[in-house]
Structure 1
Amino acid sequence: MKGRLFLIPVTLGSPDYRYVIPEKVLEIIISLRKFIVEDIRSARRFLRMIDPRFPIDESEFMILNKHTDYKDLDGMMSFLKEGSDTGLMSEAGIPGVADPGSDLVLQAHENGFRVIPLIGPSSIYLALMSSGLNGQNFAFNGYLPIKRADRIREIKNLQTMARRGQSQIFMETPYRNMKLLEDIAATLDNNIYLCIAANITHPDEYITTRTVSDWLKKGFPDIDKKPAIFIIGIKS
């Protein structure tokens, strides 16, 4: 019997996992003993959080992160090939989206294994649904370039697409959030809408959509070192 690949959701850092992960999903996660994870320590911590008696010592883990060589993916199929149901786990949110796990998921499909996504929190979709911007036509652009000139050029490109009615979603490494906001303020037209969604699902969650003009008048929030999603768009 072939193993199945379960795509495991984890929290976005919020203290109460029951707020974002359904009970039935937790039952499936707890039943697994084979895992492919971005970081073993945080994966073990999550498993012990949802079940203090989880048998860590009876479980096996493989690491899949941004440093993993594509040729190593074949070896990661071993759990599935031996018939074991296996969980793929990201550092935060859902695997396979803005996450190196997508390569493994494709490999599983190519090898004929069943892939089963489990319901959980996605900062990208939670930000979009609460932004008020176009949720029917949108694009996720991941991280913007690090070099300022390249980043400003990309922000201008995203604005062009946003003016055509397609909401543009992107993110930044948390410690560079405020620098990104400076570039956004200096680059975007005043009538473009910008949604800032930070620390989603946390007690201090912040989600607000305003025109750039209004942001400049009222000031940006201090989201330094806080995980955030940014969306630009126009009124539908």
Structure 2
Amino acid sequence: MSAHSESRGTLYLVPTPLDFGVAQAPPVAPSEWLPAETLDTARRLTHWITENAKSTRAFLKRVDALASLAAPLQAQQITELPRAAHKKGDHAPQAEGDAQARELLAPALLRHDIGLVSEAGMPAIADPGSSIVRAAHAMGLRVVPLTGPISLMLALAASGLNGQSFAFVGYVPQDPTERAKRLRELEALALKTGQTQILIETPYRNTALLQALLQTLHPHTRLAVCGALTLPQQVCRSALVQEWKRNPQTLSGELPLDAPCVFLLGR
């Protein structure tokens, strides 16, 4: 580590439990899915950059119940990412967004360590935060990802699909015609290259997406759906499309489609 980086704070990427935003989900104790080092780091941080301040306060309350925070909750410095990062994402470099990220990281220049968090899971993966990480590197800050649940990787491991080559493609179009076109494109790529395609949807549209996948995909394409990961009601189902259609209630009846789900397709 250079003397330059030692004179500045560190940016920690802090994963959080996956139950935030899940209707009627009982709170998960952070110690169930976060190792001691992650919890200890979260406990001692006092500066945060977050997707949602309310969920971050709720997370810190859970941490505080296990071990006292370094500063009371009301004294924690919690700053939300710009609204544009929520609506459009911040994964693509953009002058305005990157300048705002540098401003949010200003406390690190005064040797304050900063935690970056999303509403659930790992920040900057299927969630905003990439602009903060880019800016941290540009400013010479040390960037440390901490261990915790990442729904995309958990779903991939449980799918039986290719874990050596895969792509996260985010959301597909809502319009039925455009959605079917996009799903066919992803299927063709998966079948040609063997690359698993991973996608997500807003929970209230999960049922519509599952129906579209079953209507659009080839019978011998493998489809996996993993919902409510790490929660008591979690379910993972993986089968050929023809098997999904043959046993629709057996395969999809128990899926918690009202909770966050990950959809994967391939061969």
Q: What's the counterpart of residue 5 of structure 1? A: 11
Q: What's the counterpart of residue 21 of structure 1? A: 34
What SS is found at the alignment partner of 1:210?
strand
What SS is found at the alignment partner of 1:6?
strand
Structure 2 distance, partners of 1:65, 1:218, is 45
Identical pairs, percent? 35
Q: What's the counterpart of residue 213 of structure 1? A: 242
Q: What's the counterpart of residue 50 of structure 1? A: 63
Structure 1 distance, partners of 2:196, 2:178, is 20
Q: Does 1:229 align with 2:262?
A: yes
Offset, 1:66: 4.8
Q: What's the counterpart of residue 187 of structure 1? A: 216
Q: What's the counterpart of residue 142 of structure 1? A: 170
Q: How does 1:90-105 map to 2 (within 5 A)?
A: 90-105=118-133
Q: Does 1:176 align with 2:189?
A: no
Offset, 1:79: 1.5
Moved over 6 A (4+): none
Q: What's the counterpart of residue 113 of structure 1? A: 141
Structure 2 distance, partners of 1:15, 1:65, is 28
Offset, 1:6: 0.2
Structure 2 distance, partners of 1:203, 1:99, is 23
Offset, 1:162: 1.1
Whether contact under 8 Å (1:36, 1:64) holds in the other structure is yes
What SS is found at the alignment partner of 2:8?
coil
* Alignment equivalent of 1:61, drawn from 71, 78, 89: 78
Offset, 1:161: 1.3
Residue deviations 1:20-69, cap 9 Å, x none?
A: 10012100110100000111111011011121343112210110155346
Whether contact under 8 Å (2:102, 2:136) holds in the other structure is no
Q: What's the counterpart of residue 125 of structure 1? A: 153
Residue deviations 1:125-181, cap 9 Å, x none?
A: 000011111000111101112222221111001101110210110000110001111
Structure 2 distance, partners of 1:201, 1:224, is 15
Distance 1:130 1:65, change over 3 A: farther
Offset, 1:224: 3.4
Structure 1 distance, partners of 2:170, 2:76, is 33
CA RMSD of aligned residues (A): 1.4
* 220-229 vs 28-37, which moves further: 220-229
| TM-score (normalised: structure 1) | 0.95
Letter in 1 for 2:128: P
